[in-house]
Amino acid sequence: MAVEYDPFTTHLGGDPYPLYRALREQAPVHYAADSDIYCVTRYDDVRQVLGQPELFSSRAMDTVFRRSRDVRLRPRHLVDVARFVWKMRSVLLRMRRAGNLITLDPPRHSELRAIVNRGFTPRQIATWEPWIREIVVEELSDKLDQAEAFDVVRDLAIPLPTRVIMRVLGVEKSGVDFKRWSDNLVSGISGPGRHDPMALGIMDSMAELMVFLRTTIHERRANPGDDLISLLVDPAQDHALGDGEAISFVVLLLIAGNETTTNLIGNGINALYDHPDQLALLLDDPARMPGFIEEALRYDSPIQIVFRRATAATEIAGVAIPEGGYVAPMLASANRDDRKFPDADRFDIRRESSGHLGFGFGLHFCLGSALARLQARIAFEAVVPHLGRLEKRDAAPEIIDSFLVRGRSSLVLEARAAA
Ligand code: HEM
């Protein structure tokens, strides 16, 4: 029987990996007719697509989400949308003109990436370690030592990246609700809010965020500080970002950097609980931490899928792709391909997992990978030593409703019952 899968409508449920395996074996380039998308599932083919940005354009990372939305706008919402567009017209126009790193192709992508790379050098990120550690200590407070249960996703993995990005942007003392804005953005793009953005206040959040960022950018241009926004818009620098470019970029950081990092932490801890032998190995030798983090990214990838669009007629693994055809390189499936990672469904923190595609591949390789790894390492170093005496309350914690990201919405840990 043919495998059925459509990235926008198939409900993946708790374990999408058997379905990915079936696709890899039976239809490695699977055409999802309803969404008109070619889904690519084998490691080599996914890398081939991501490695040819001139043939597979990242503009799809913008246009495909609009196609996927199936928004149910009620008539009264049309008024709200019109009001939003009118109020934000100058910012929206500038953002549109500026483009967004993740949706751009060369040469503009290369220019913009060279500029924003300045804010994410490995040396700079390493200097952030002490205060990231302080945030982890603050968020955990004495939860790990108390007898009561706590939720490692809600109490640590969710607030950590938001606080980190606020600090990097220099807005941690602004008193604004960045968390709500960021959650609403992600929900409106790939989560439950994609069907009803007005009801969930997504447009409101977007408008509030844009107004806040525009004001902040103007302030930093006049009075630069020691933060990412000041660095990017500093008029004394060559190629300083304009308002539209800077707003677009910060919005991207919130979308790309928060929930992904949250899910790496949640998925990693969940995988350790599901594989007690691997937890024992890590407890036995904490130097295995980097191997564990890479294996968590491979085994249960926070970003499951990305999108591209063919700029010319071509073929992938013998399947013809028309010019303009949408292609979905499925990172999480590629990471479970036995052809690249022997016995790929086995979670093994000692395996050679380098080359995994959890952070993508090629020109668009994740800008925040070093920051994500650092946050995850600090969070795991704080929590993992306690996992031996804690257990997870739900054997299969609830999975987030999204076709793009994979993670647990909650992961409650409590003291093990005495034997
Ligand atoms: C575990 C956490 C993370 C994962 C799994 C992840 C994954 C990814 C992936 C797969 C891509 C490639 C998208 C594509 O090819 O179309 C990407 C790009 C990107 N990520 Fe991350 N990311 C994470 C954390 C972060 C963080 C913390 C930041 C920044 C604060 C960030 C910022 C970005 C940006 C700006 C891009 C676009 C790069 C470009 O287009 O040149 N990410 N990420």
Mutational pocket test of ligand 1: of 101, 308, 359, 371, the residue with most ligand atoms within 8 Å of the beta carbon: 359
How confident is the model over 80-104, as pLDDT tens digits?
Answer: 666 666 666 666 666 666 678 999 9
Length of the chain: 419
User: Is there a contact between 336 and 356 (Cβ–Cβ < 8 Å)?
Assistant: no
Residue 405 pairs with which residues in a beta bridge? 303
Asked if residue 366 has its Cβ within 6 Å of ligand 1, the reply is yes
Asked if residue 250 has its Cβ within 6 Å of ligand 1, the reply is no
pLDDT at 313: 98
- Measured from the Cβ of residue 184, the count of other Cβ atoms closer than 10 Å reads 24
The series of mean pLDDT values per 10 residues for the chain, 419 residues long, is 88 91 98 96 98 97 70 59 67 70 93 91 94 96 84 95 94 86 76 62 82 93 93 86 89 90 98 98 98 98 97 98 98 98 98 97 97 98 95 93 90 85
Superfamily covering domain 17-415: Cytochrome P450 (1.10.630.10)
- Measured from the Cβ of residue 265, the count of other Cβ atoms closer than 10 Å reads 29
Residue burial 38-48, b: 16+ Cβ < 10 Å; e: rest: bbbbbbebbbb
Residue nearest to atom 1 of ligand 1 (CA): 261
Q: In angstroms, what is the span from residue 6 Cα to ligand 1's centroid? A: 23
Longest dimension (CA), the chain: 65
CA distances from 308 to 11, 62, 69, 99 (A): 22, 10, 17, 16
pLDDT at 335: 98
User: Is there a contact between 344 and 338 (Cβ–Cβ < 8 Å)?
Assistant: yes
Domain ranges for the chain: 17-415
Residue nearest to atom 14 of ligand 1 (CA): 364
Q: In angstroms, what is the span from residue 260 Cα to ligand 1's centroid? A: 8
Two structure tokens written together for 137: 């200590």
Q: In angstroms, what is the span from residue 180 Cα to ligand 1's centroid? A: 20
pLDDT at 70: 53
Distance between CA 114 and CA 97 in Å, rounded?
19
Mutational pocket test of ligand 1: of 259, 367, 374, 402, the residue with most ligand atoms within 8 Å of the beta carbon: 367
